[in-house]
Amino acid sequence: MPAGPAAGSPVPGDLPFDQRGRLAEPGWPKAAFIERCFAGDQTNWSAPDDACVQAMLRSAGLRVVAATAHETYVCERDAERDPARPLREAELSAATGETSALPTASR
């Protein structure tokens, strides 16, 4: 349920703590926090704007290649911009029980 501006401004790779005021600038990816209930659903805890949804997709190692409809994105893996991929793959392996990719603890 993205809400807000259609496109976000470019964001820096890192933002110093003393510049956190920039998070309130127009176009910065945002998500509203839902404290109780939204649209009759108590599990709707946030409502991201379009810039936030696309930022989350990029953070997950994906690239948006098309927006086929409102709130509908076609994505592909972006290997060049995915430094956290080994961590996500290890987490997926652990969650699915395929622990061969995880280091074993010494006994």
Give phi and psi for 48, each to the nearest 5: -80, 150
CA dist list (Å): 95 to 13, 46, 58: 29, 24, 22
Which residue type, as a one-letter code, is found at position 2? P
DSSP H helices in the chain = 50-59, 85-96
The model's pLDDT over 57-103, given as tens digits with 9 standing for 90+, comes to 988 888 999 999 988 999 998 878 777 788 878 888 899 888 654 45
Q: Does the predicted model carry a pTM greater than 0.75?
A: no
Strand partners, 72: 69
- pLDDT given for residue 53 in this prediction: 93
